[in-house]
Amino acid sequence: MTTTTPKMSGNASSGKKQTKRLPLYIQISELLHREIAAGHYQIGERLPIEADLATQLGVAIGTLRKALSKLEGDGMLERRQGSGTYVKATLNNRAVYQLFRLELLEGGGMPNADTLSVTAAENPYVAGQLGLESNTPLWCIRRLRYLNQTPAAAEEIWLDQQHDPALSAEKLLESLYKHYRDHFDFWITHIEDRISCTGAPDWVADLLGKAPDTMLGFVERLSWSSNDRVEEFSYTWFDPAVVRYISRLS
């Protein structure tokens, strides 16, 4: 599978490691959500005591408690006075990364992302996927995704420039779906993933430490918004030696 080479113009913005990270307690709640979904903790199972869990995760107890409170509010955990914190449910629709389908081979993993560049471009194929005219100005966002700080996937994400004509890497939140909800006029409601494999482009191979054209997992994603439009089109190349694509229904 190959992608169409975009026609790039000016206003490229590079911002590796300048991405606005989610608050640490949100990152921890997302990690625990994914660990529960992956089966590391079962429904009805008690989590380790707070002091031990905080030590395992390398965070202060106060940060952990905020994360547990969020998951309790989301309906995933139940706190029992004098007994501990128990898993109440395995999935909910309130997680920031609920549509992020990659996890470590052993399951779960905390997602992070570095925004590498935000570039003005034209791409007739992508414009067609977005239901736009072939010469519509687009933003091309390239990112490196991590799971538990391990490089796992490279992303190329395409948006209509009209959402923010002055978009830059420095503006973007780590969770793009949260950025859309907070700063654009839509949020993502459902997706379609087209999964295959393809040779790694040079820039992807370099990021993931692979030889050019190494076969990688490949996902084309169409993302529909609350306005019932395809607002985002993306490519994801992932290393099957590190992560797998997973989809769970409940």
The helix/strand/coil state of 1 is coil
Q: How many residues does the chain have?
A: 250
Judged against a pLDDT cut of 70, whether residue 4 lies above it is answered with no
Judged against a pLDDT cut of 90, whether residue 131 lies above it is answered with yes
What is the 8-class DSSP label of residue 162? G
Share of the chain above pLDDT 90, in %: 56
CA distance 24 to 33: 14
The helix/strand/coil state of 83 is coil
Q: Give the pLDDT of residue 194.
A: 96
User: H-type helices in 109-231, by residue range?
Assistant: 124-129, 176-183, 202-208
CA 204 to chain centroid, in Å, comes to 17
User: H-type helices in the chain, by residue range?
Assistant: 24-37, 50-57, 61-73, 124-129, 176-183, 202-208
> 3-state SS of the chain: helix, strand, coil percent to 5?
25, 35, 40
Read off the tokens for 246: 């997973």
Nearest to 47 by CA among 83, 6, 9: 83
Q: Model confidence over 71-114: pLDDT tens digits?
A: 998 888 999 988 999 998 766 666 666 778 899 998 888 888 99
Q: Model confidence over 230-240: pLDDT tens digits?
A: 999 999 999 99
Q: Give the pLDDT of residue 95.
A: 65
Judged against a pLDDT cut of 50, whether residue 42 lies above it is answered with yes
Q: Give the pLDDT of residue 124.
A: 98
Q: Give the pLDDT of residue 247.
A: 83
Rounded to 5 degrees, what angle do the CA atoms 232, 73, 175 make?
A: 25
Q: Record the pTM.
A: 0.75
Q: Give the pLDDT of residue 2.
A: 40
DSSP 197-250: EEEPPHHHHHHHT--TT-EEEEEEEEEEETTSSEEEEEEEEE-TTTEEE-----
Residue linked to tokens 């991590």: 146
